[in-house]
């Protein structure tokens, strides 16, 4: 094809890979018009070379004799010296760079950093060392090549001359990734242990930007981990994608990284049942989309691996297959928490998201809470978090109700309790528009399990409070030790005081203008009100009928401070939702 087009290199590379596809990584490597044939012994290399040359003859490829080197033990490949020792810098290029005089303008600095940066994988602390020179490249900064810049220039030249030998990765051994962060840079080293000695494969470092410099120490350390995983993903994913072990080392022990930072399958179809000849009329012209788990389902059902997979893709595929389970006609995946969840396609996923967000028991919660409700219901697909975020953006009711920002919230103060149902908080919400002759909501919340009981009330008086406590609290959960309320007359009266003394309950009253004492009740009131705002009709007069559904949504919503849902904490099991019956969660077909 014509050169000069932007897609010419990629097209040429694909052409070369298709010609030598069965030899790549086995006997040769190809990059554009350069390819290297290798072997462990002289005879193996000769056989591989004969096969490669024959393939060139068969495909009419012409080789330039002057650029060919045969049966050598070392050579220059893509600017690097390759030998049995490993990968080294090209000494010819390094000598040219080492003889360069100090630059006198920005163009000279940029040229030097470009040449030196080509071998940065061999150099420790490259980002930190080159930072004074990089500062000269900032726009609208005066060019001042001071002593600090000269020292950095000489250090980089010395580092190029004394660059270590980098070993090639051994895919049969585990990788070791060391990373660390300093005040303004992150560094990482990828290596492996051979005979109890650590051998470096790749050095990497990066200077933080103006926002990352303000991170806390822990955040900078995590930034180094993220940078290292992104940088070396091709190495790590090609080996064992999720077989990771994380170890924390002191800076004095993590010397290298610390220095850097501071520096559809036809075979399966044959074995399936015959296709029914009768189709509903509405399905005749339907175009079905292949589900994302088709390859895994075919493998678990009839043990067929896609032919187009290369050896490393096949290895990862077989490793992932260990966490999947086939129960005809459904595929299930075991999560990190040990729960088996059914794999669903994109069409089912959209409907499941609607059920867990917009239905009566959904509650129109934010992304994390609804996503965990989906997972607790026993469903899974790879894009679950992204799909829900997109769904929330299109949800009209969710977008119309604004949340109170953290800046405008009154700071709350938690109360330490260790026994469930021993400490309750109680409060009234309202008045609301009249709904079934009700104008108030009486809310009572347990401070340990975050379990909420609520009831629509005609009035906010003492008799209503006493009746609610006897029926919904004392009879169901036993008499608590403490009841916390505000100083309203419906809580401070002789009738409620006599009732609480009779049952041995200590009554604590919050001081005026200090809602932190009843902080848990205030939070529960706000969350219930938010659910009702998103579910009631525009007239706001059906909230009494929606209250039970709002409680259902609240009980099954994930709470960050307890790490689970109130329903799970109280009953010791997840609440089975109607969506599990409709879309066949794991437990449902066995019923």
* Under-50 pLDDT residues of the chain: 1, 239-242, 252, 255-257, 259-260, 262-287, 404, 408, 589-591
CA gap 395, 354 in Å, rounded: 10
Tell me, what's the pLDDT at 9? 75
Q: Which domains does the chain have, with CATH numbers?
A: 7-71 (no CATH), 102-162 (no CATH), 175-239+253-262 (3.10.20.370), 293-401 (1.10.340.70), 423-579 (3.30.420.10)
DSSP state of 400: H
CA gap 127, 192 in Å, rounded: 23
Edge-to-edge strands, sheet with 340-343: 324-327, 330-334, 340-343, 379-380
List, for residues 188-208, the tens digit of each pLDDT value: 878 787 776 667 777 777 888
pTM of the model: 0.41
Cα radius of gyration (the chain): 34
List, for residues 283-302, the tens digit of each pLDDT value: 433 445 678 888 888 888 88
CA 175-246-186 angle, to 5 degrees, is 80
413 close to 519: Cβ distance less than 8 angstroms: yes
Tell me, what's the pLDDT at 454? 93
Tell me, what's the pLDDT at 268? 33
Instruction: Name the percent of the chain in helix, strand, coil, to the closest 5.
Output: 45, 15, 40
Tell me, what's the pLDDT at 249? 59
Tell me, what's the pLDDT at 267? 41
| DSSP track, 457-498 | ES--SHHHHHHHIIIIIIHHH---SEEEE-S-TTTSSHHHHH
CA gap 361, 403 in Å, rounded: 20
């Amino acid at each position: 094809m014509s050169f000069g087009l932007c897609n010419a290199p990629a097209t040429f590379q694909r052409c070369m890979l298709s010609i030598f596809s069965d030899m790549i990584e086995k006997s040769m490597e190809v990059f554009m018009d350069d390819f290297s044939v290798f072997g462990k012994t002289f005879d193996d290399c000769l056989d591989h070379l004969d096969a490669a040359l024959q393939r060139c003859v068969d495909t009419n490829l012409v080789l330039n004799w002057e650029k060919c080197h045969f049966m050598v033990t070392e050579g220059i490949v893509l600017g690097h010296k390759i030998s049995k020792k490993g990968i080294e810098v090209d000494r010819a290029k390094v000598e040219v760079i080492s003889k360069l005089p100090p630059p006198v303008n920005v163009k000279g600095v940029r040229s030097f950093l470009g040449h030196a940066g080509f071998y940065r994988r061999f150099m420790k602390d490259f980002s930190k060392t080159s930072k004074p020179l990089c500062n000269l490249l900032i726009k609208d900064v005066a060019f001042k090549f001071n002593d600090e810049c000269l020292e950095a220039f000489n250090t980089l030249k010395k580092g190029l001359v004394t660059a270590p030998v980098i070993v090639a990765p051994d895919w049969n051994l585990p990788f070791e990734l060391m990373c660390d962060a300093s005040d303004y840079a992150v560094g990482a080293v990828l290596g492996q242990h051979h005979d109890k000695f650590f051998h470096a494969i790749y050095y990497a470092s990066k200077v933080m930007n103006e926002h990352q410099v303000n991170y806390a120490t822990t955040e900078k350390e995590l930034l180094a981990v993220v940078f290292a995983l992104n940088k070396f993903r091709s190495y790590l994913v090609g080996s064992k994608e999720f077989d990771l072990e994380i170890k924390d080392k002191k800076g004095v022990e993590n010397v290298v990284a610390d220095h850097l930072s501071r520096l559809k399958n036809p075979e399966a179809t044959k074995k399936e049942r015959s296709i029914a000849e009768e189709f509903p009329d509405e399905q005749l012209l339907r175009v079905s989309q292949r589900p994302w788990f088709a390859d895994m389902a075919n493998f678990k059902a009839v043990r067929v691996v896609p032919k187009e997979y290369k050896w490393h893709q096949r290895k990862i595929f077989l490793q992932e297959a260990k966490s999947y389970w086939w129960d005809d006609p459904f595929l299930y995946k075991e999560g990190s928490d040990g729960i088996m969840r059914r794999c669903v396609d994109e069409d089912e996923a959209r409907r499941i998201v609607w059920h867990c967000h917009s239905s009566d028991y959904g509650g129109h919660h934010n992304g994390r809470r609804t996503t965990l409700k989906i997972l607790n219901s026993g469903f899974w697909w790879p894009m679950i978090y992204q799909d829900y975020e997109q769904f929330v953006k299109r949800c009209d009711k969710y977008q119309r109700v604004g949340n109170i920002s953290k800046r405008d919230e009154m700071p709350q103060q938690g109360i330490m309790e260790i026994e469930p149902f021993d400490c309750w908080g109680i409060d009234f919400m309202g008045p609301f528009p009249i709904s079934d002759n009700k104008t108030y909501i009486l809310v009572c919340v347990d401070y340990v399990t975050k379990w909420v009981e609520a009831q629509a009330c005609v009035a906010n008086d003492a008799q209503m409070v006493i009746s609610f406590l006897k029926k919904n609290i004392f009879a169901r959960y036993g008499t608590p030790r403490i009841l916390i309320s505000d100083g309203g007359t419906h809580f401070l009266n002789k009738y409620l005081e006599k009732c609480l003394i009779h049952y041995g309950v200590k009554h604590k009253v919050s001081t005026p203008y200090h809602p932190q004492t009843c902080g848990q009740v205030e939070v529960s009131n706000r969350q219930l009100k938010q659910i009702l705002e998103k579910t009631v009709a525009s007239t706001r007069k059906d909230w009494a009928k929606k209250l039970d559904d709002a409680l259902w949504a609240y009980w099954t919503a994930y709470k960050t401070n307890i790490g689970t849902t109130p329903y799970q904490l109280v009953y010791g099991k997840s609440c089975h939702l109607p969506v599990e019956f409709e879309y066949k969660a794991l437990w449902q077909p066995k019923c």
